[in-house]
Structure 1
Amino acid sequence: MEKYRGAEEDRARALQRVTKLSLHLVEPGAAGAAAERRQVVAEPCAMALRAPAAGKFEGLTSYMREKHWDLQEKVLEFFNSRPDLQTPVEISMAEHRELCMRQLRALVQEANIRPFRLMLEDPGKYFAVTRAIGSVDMSLGIKMGVQYSLWGGSVINLGTQKHRDRFLDGIDNLDYPGCFAMTELHHGSNVQGLQTTATFDPAADEFVINTPNDGAIKWWIGNAALHGKFATVFARLLLPSSAGHGGPADMGIHAFIVPIRDLATHRSLPGVEIRDCGHKVGLNGVDNGALKFSGVRIPRDNLLNRFGDVSSDGKYSSSLPTAGKRFAATLGELVGGRVGLAYSSVNVLKLGATIAVRYSLLRQQFGPPNQPEVCILDYQSQQQKLMPMVASAYAFHFATLFMVDRYSEMKKTHDEEIVADVHALSAGLKSYITSYTAKSLSVCREACGGHGYAAVNRFGSLRNDHDIFQTFEGDNTVLLQQVAGDLLKQYQEKFKGTALAVTWNYLRDSMATYLSQPNPITSRWEGEDHLRNPKFQLDAFRYRTSRLLQTAAMRLRKHSKTLGSFGAWNRCLNHLLTLAESHIESVILEKFIEAVDNCPNRKTREVLKLVCDLYALDRIWNDIGTYRNVDYVAPNKAKAIQKLRDYLCFQVRGVAGQLINAFGIPPEATRAPIAMQSDAYSSYTRQVGFQEYIPAAGAAGLFDSD
């Protein structure tokens, strides 16, 4: 009897909770007068997706629309008009690879969109095309990136005018499909450890490319297995000893243009062994291969010689004084790949969030007795899975737009300060955003239950294709260490009076302001106006970063005395990774706040402020232990942050449909049946072969009673 009574009480409490939630949909609960004034009233489920894309926030879609949106629309419209170029849900690896090549040729030769020219003239336009192409097929986006950003970008950025004159047109029109051969079987992120050699032969005025051991085989090289005819090969430049004795002089890692297939017959050239890396977890439209070189001779002019050159008599020259500076300059010119991955990853997050939120608004499940079922986005658990994700997509949107603008400025001015800024910013944003997106895609799949597991609804392909973004262009853990190292360098230079890079400017005052003892009064403030104040939010983010930076410097100094610099770094590694992520979160929040402040439309600004507050308080709550440990936030304030964060999830749910519509992703880009704005299940059942149900004559009354 007691067991029965307990179960009944549990059911009663659950019913009371659902009833209370239903009332919230009409009028917000008592969360303070200020909250009521700012409350965005939720719409009924049936209306949430059927409202026009702009809804009552007319300026939201236009404010989110990027400068080159018309170019993205042109790309999407072209592929939508060509069913023969659309990637089916089920396709073999061989078919997918050939389809990707046909898609790329059609884009360039039929749609007359020239990504390489766009990259050289206006990087913003190139990244816009990259984002649109990634919506068509992520394999196509990566294949295009290999051809133009990596192979083409290396020739243009690391070579000189003679290379531009010889190769630009062929790369642009796809006569010269190529590869970017940096990664080796034993070395990926550690580029300075590459073992492939390029030995200069003065008698023949040629370089001889060799793979000295199996560990030096170039591995995972996109475009190599099938389509590439050239490769930019990163190798150790070896010169004959000037004294006439001893081993060759090692001048460090340089880049060389190496033909790998005959232009006419497409057969692999003598000394070039090409193998297929085979089926992968994702991106099987990209033909990744392995390259092994045995005495392959190339002309001296095939050295990409912008930062270092070799004369016909074997003399080395460079405008940069040390091998370290040459290496840094070489990698610095390749930073565009990281910019593109971070920018594209935001689009993948938007796609995943769009599908999951639209499904959650349409799917109805359970509800009060004898009343209609409620949509699953009305459940607090679903809101807390998806609403912070939507807020993060908005935050990343504005941060990556800033990064693309900085990158474009860097390419125009070649300003050293901007170069350093973009290098660290792109490393941090690429690692942070791609890691967050990878985790979020799994959450989206789970939030959509069994339907999320259907391949046609895309979570599987999105998750698998995007997963490697965490490794491309530098492993995320390695890139975060670069950010931490740059922060420590800036920390040291602060005390030398050196100017700080733009992105790190807040550190100028942080040591004095943010590292002072927490105010015992403000640490207890828990009012909504205070918690939603951008100054409090940004100060909290920056306090955490500043404290982590100071303690990291102290720990490294301490451990280096006994463990040496490498041992000390490894001992503090988790601390350093947390420091880098904290800094990047601070930069993202700063750019989001600026975007809110700069929004000209009052109603749009209000909804953006709501989303920005959720992003900020969600991140603070996720690391509340750090703030509690140093008394930056008192227990009552921590509880208030949690409550407000939960309430903001509820408020954002009320405009979730409009927020994802403002991403501007058309149906041909989402393509998931459960992401339709209406009649999702009709579309879904047709996908698996059912005919649309039409009631038989005389049975209509069964369906008319409602």
Structure 2
Amino acid sequence: MEPSQTVEDESQPSIATVTRRIQRLSLHLIPLPPLQCSPHLDMLTCAKANKQEVDVASLSSYMRGKHREIQERIFDFFNSRPDLQTPTEISMKEHRELCLRQLLGLVREGKIKPFRYVVEDPAKYFAISEAVGSIDISLGIKFGVQYSLWGGSVLNLGTKKHRDKYFDGIDNLDYLGCFAMTELHHGSNVQGLQTVATFDPITDEFIIDTPNDGAIKWWIGNAAVHGKFATVFARLVLPTHDSKGVSDMGVHAFIVPIRDLKTHQPLPGIEINDCGHKIGLNGVDNGALRFRSVRIPRDNLLNRFGDVTRDGKYTSSLPTINKRFAATLGELVGGRVGLAHSSVGILKIAVTIAVRYSLLRQQFGPPKQPEVSILDYQSQQHKLMPMLASTYAFHFATQYLVEKYSEMKKTHDEQLVGDVHALSAGLKSYVTSFTAKSLSTCREACGGHGYAAVNRFGTLRNDHDIFQTFEGDNTVLLQQV
């Protein structure tokens, strides 16, 4: 190389590169003309495949059966009442009050009276419950606490005197109630509950006591704000004249008023605390109850499987504590049936949203041709189609479970009782676990748009998550099966 020759410094950008960069930067400084829609931004035809003609009305009637009409009534009621629809952003306090207004509106204005169906027509009750839960899962749970748990315990564990006294108040929501079974230290192990109900033969009353902090009733729906009564599960203790001094008859259920019907203030001896914010279901006012020598009449014992006479003698048609306990829990299996059924309802919502979106959303495709519906890609099909098939399978499986449960309620056949117990434990566990995983898959299948709160996946996922623990932890239920 001659010394006089110049060499361009390769570490410096060329004149052409600098010019191009200046041109690009200038675009940010010069106002652009009004946006002209490119043909590439137009909405393209949904899904190239041939559209199948389906008789939607007939298919819907087949899937939802004879209870389709009452579900449509519920949807129509809430569609006509935008003030009762849950907004995307809402505080816990506002959500709780909205849930109560939704329930009162449904029953008193919408004329939906589900309580009589809890025993008379469980299939219709569960159809109503599914529709209510699709509006807001918090509303569905509050609905279930009132009618299936609090109301169901009165119907299933009580006798005629209890039904005569409480039925109308539960039905019309004058008697909002709680189901106080779970304690701080005991959930699935119901036989280990520590709350005590001691009979006082002098006053003909039971004295309800919380003996220690671990026995505080915990996570009790309707307790924190709205409940007026509670079905309290406690160990029935009778005084005796032998050396032991007392006789423990095992866990029984008692109706305990917790707030004054007029002032709504907690009654003497009742301590109520708020469980506060939860991962989901913040429209449900979960609370903690502590009892300090709370006296209730002897008649408040729900005495279908065991009773106490005026002179303090225990009577029962069932000979042992274990048999009485099994009979009591057997009558409460409807909650487990309802959770399996409701979980499928939530799965239906999520799968419907994800499949519809996947038909409309288009990405990639052959050069210079319309983009392809993402449901045409195998990766999307592998996510959604087995899930869709499983949703149909679970729909029919839980329908079968409801039929068996309804038959059990009518016949009280011992073989059916055992079958329903095993089937409900298995299906509740399997379906709720499947739905919990599927909700995340559906969100992912909808990409970034699935992350928008308005598209419901976050709410559905958070509200449903506790279904894996409600009415028996799934691990424990599978061991029972």
The TM-score, its normalising length taken from structure 2, stands at: 0.89
Q: Does residue 447 of structure 2 align to residue 449 of structure 1?
A: yes
- How many angstroms apart in 2 are the aligned matches of 1:326 and 1:58? 47
- How many angstroms apart in 1 are the aligned matches of 2:297 and 2:393? 49
- Aligned with residue 404 of structure 2, among 400, 403, 406: 406
- Aligned with residue 415 of structure 2, among 417, 423, 427: 417
Q: 1:382 is aligned with what amino acid?
A: Q
More helix by share: 1
Q: 8 Å contact 1:270–1:296 — kept in the other structure? A: yes
- How many angstroms apart in 1 are the aligned matches of 2:174 and 2:262? 11
2:301 maps to which residue?
303
- How many angstroms apart in 2 are the aligned matches of 1:95 and 1:249? 47
- How many angstroms apart in 2 are the aligned matches of 1:295 and 1:63? 54
Deviation at 1:314, TM superposition (A): 1.1
- How many angstroms apart in 1 are the aligned matches of 2:201 and 2:164? 25
Deviation at 1:375, TM superposition (A): 1.3
Deviation at 1:57, TM superposition (A): 8.3
- How many angstroms apart in 2 are the aligned matches of 1:226 and 1:109? 20
Q: What per-residue deviation string (whole Å, max 9, x for no partner) do you get for residues 607-660 of structure 1?
A: xxxxxxxxxxxxxxxxxxxxxxxxxxxxxxxxxxxxxxxxxxxxxxxxxxxxxx
Question: CA 1:337/1:250 → structure 2, altered by over 3 Å: closer, same or farther?
Answer: same
User: Which SS does the other structure have where 1:183 is aligned?
Assistant: coil
Deviation at 1:246, TM superposition (A): 2.3
- How many angstroms apart in 2 are the aligned matches of 1:49 and 1:320? 64
Count how many residue pairs are aligned between Structure 1 and Structure 2.
438
Deviation at 1:45, TM superposition (A): 6.2
- How many angstroms apart in 2 are the aligned matches of 1:119 and 1:153? 7
1:115 maps to which residue?
114
Identity %: 77
Q: What per-residue deviation string (whole Å, max 9, x for no partner) do you get for residues 74-103 of structure 1?
A: 111011101111111111111110011011
User: Which SS does the other structure have where 1:268 is aligned?
Assistant: coil
Deviation at 1:118, TM superposition (A): 2.2
Q: 8 Å contact 1:200–1:240 — kept in the other structure? A: yes
Deviation at 1:117, TM superposition (A): 1.6
Q: Which has the larger radius of gyration?
A: 2
Q: Does residue 178 of structure 2 align to residue 173 of structure 1?
A: no
Deviation at 1:65, TM superposition (A): 3.0
User: Which SS does the other structure have where 1:90 is aligned?
Assistant: coil
Q: 2:346 is aligned with what amino acid?
A: V
User: Which SS does the other structure have where 2:478 is aligned?
Assistant: helix
2:46 maps to which residue?
46
Which ranges of structure 2 fall in alignment gaps of 5 or more residues? 1-43
Q: 8 Å contact 1:45–1:375 — kept in the other structure? A: no
Question: CA 1:48/1:231 → structure 2, altered by over 3 Å: closer, same or farther?
Answer: farther
Deviation at 1:48, TM superposition (A): 7.2
Q: 2:206 is aligned with what amino acid?
A: F
Q: What per-residue deviation string (whole Å, max 9, x for no partner) do you get for residues 503-529 of structure 1?
A: xxxxxxxxxxxxxxxxxxxxxxxxxxx
1:463 maps to which residue?
461
- How many angstroms apart in 2 are the aligned matches of 1:95 and 1:50? 47
Deviation at 1:49, TM superposition (A): 10
- How many angstroms apart in 1 are the aligned matches of 2:234 and 2:75? 39
Deviation at 1:378, TM superposition (A): 1.3
Q: 1:433 is aligned with what amino acid?
A: V
Q: 8 Å contact 2:47–2:359 — kept in the other structure? A: no
Q: How does 1:29-68 map to 2 (within 5 A)?
A: 46-47=46-47, 55=54, 60-68=59-67
Q: What per-residue deviation string (whole Å, max 9, x for no partner) do you get for residues 671-703 of structure 1?
A: xxxxxxxxxxxxxxxxxxxxxxxxxxxxxxxxx
Question: CA 1:418/1:49 → structure 2, altered by over 3 Å: closer, same or farther?
Answer: farther
Question: CA 1:83/1:252 → structure 2, altered by over 3 Å: closer, same or farther?
Answer: same
Q: 8 Å contact 2:270–2:289 — kept in the other structure? A: yes
Q: 8 Å contact 1:49–1:361 — kept in the other structure? A: no
2:347 maps to which residue?
349
- How many angstroms apart in 2 are the aligned matches of 1:212 and 1:98? 33
Deviation at 1:47, TM superposition (A): 5.0
Q: 8 Å contact 2:169–2:175 — kept in the other structure? A: yes
Q: 8 Å contact 1:352–1:444 — kept in the other structure? A: yes
Q: 1:153 is aligned with what amino acid?
A: G
Q: 2:88 is aligned with what amino acid?
A: V
User: Which SS does the other structure have where 1:236 is aligned?
Assistant: strand
Deviation at 1:59, TM superposition (A): 5.1
**Coordinate RMSD, CA, aligned:** 1.6
Q: What per-residue deviation string (whole Å, max 9, x for no partner) do you get for residues 317-350 of structure 1?
A: 1000110000000000001111111111111111
Q: 8 Å contact 1:451–1:457 — kept in the other structure? A: yes
- How many angstroms apart in 2 are the aligned matches of 1:231 and 1:168? 14
Q: Does residue 173 of structure 2 align to residue 190 of structure 1?
A: no
Q: Does residue 83 of structure 2 align to residue 84 of structure 1?
A: yes
Deviation at 1:134, TM superposition (A): 0.6
- How many angstroms apart in 2 are the aligned matches of 1:134 and 1:49? 34
- How many angstroms apart in 2 are the aligned matches of 1:348 and 1:381? 23
Q: How does 1:613-692 map to 2 (within 5 A)?
A: none
- How many angstroms apart in 2 are the aligned matches of 1:312 and 1:250? 18
Which ranges of structure 1 fall in alignment gaps of 5 or more residues? 1-43, 484-706
- How many angstroms apart in 2 are the aligned matches of 1:418 and 1:392? 26
- How many angstroms apart in 1 are the aligned matches of 2:395 and 2:147? 24
- How many angstroms apart in 2 are the aligned matches of 1:467 and 1:475? 12
- How many angstroms apart in 2 are the aligned matches of 1:420 and 1:89? 43
- Aligned with residue 394 of structure 1, among 392, 395, 415: 392
Deviation at 1:190, TM superposition (A): 0.2
Q: 8 Å contact 1:338–1:427 — kept in the other structure? A: yes
1:335 maps to which residue?
333
Question: CA 1:476/1:45 → structure 2, altered by over 3 Å: closer, same or farther?
Answer: farther
Deviation at 1:242, TM superposition (A): 3.5
1:220 maps to which residue?
219
Q: Does residue 204 of structure 2 align to residue 238 of structure 1?
A: no
Q: 2:294 is aligned with what amino acid?
A: V
Deviation at 1:226, TM superposition (A): 0.4
Q: 1:151 is aligned with what amino acid?
A: W
User: Which SS does the other structure have where 1:435 is aligned?
Assistant: helix
Q: What per-residue deviation string (whole Å, max 9, x for no partner) do you get for residues 465-491 of structure 1?
A: 1111111111111111111xxxxxxxx
Q: 8 Å contact 1:48–1:361 — kept in the other structure? A: no
Indicate the structure whose relative CO is greater, using CA pairs within 8 Å and at least 6 residues apart.
Answer: 1
- How many angstroms apart in 2 are the aligned matches of 1:149 and 1:162? 19
Deviation at 1:50, TM superposition (A): 11
Q: Does residue 432 of structure 2 align to residue 434 of structure 1?
A: yes
Question: CA 1:447/1:226 → structure 2, altered by over 3 Å: closer, same or farther?
Answer: same
Question: CA 1:247/1:163 → structure 2, altered by over 3 Å: closer, same or farther?
Answer: same
Runs of 4+ in 1 over 4 A off after TM superposition: 47-52, 56-59
Q: What per-residue deviation string (whole Å, max 9, x for no partner) do you get for residues 563-610 of structure 1?
A: xxxxxxxxxxxxxxxxxxxxxxxxxxxxxxxxxxxxxxxxxxxxxxxx
More strand by share: 2
Deviation at 1:58, TM superposition (A): 8.2
Deviation at 1:124, TM superposition (A): 1.0
Deviation at 1:55, TM superposition (A): 2.4
Q: What per-residue deviation string (whole Å, max 9, x for no partner) do you get for residues 533-588 of structure 1?
A: xxxxxxxxxxxxxxxxxxxxxxxxxxxxxxxxxxxxxxxxxxxxxxxxxxxxxxxx
Q: Does residue 162 of structure 2 align to residue 163 of structure 1?
A: yes
User: Which SS does the other structure have where 2:65 is aligned?
Assistant: coil
- How many angstroms apart in 2 are the aligned matches of 1:332 and 1:48? 53
Deviation at 1:410, TM superposition (A): 1.1
User: Which SS does the other structure have where 1:462 is aligned?
Assistant: helix
Question: CA 1:159/1:50 → structure 2, altered by over 3 Å: closer, same or farther?
Answer: farther
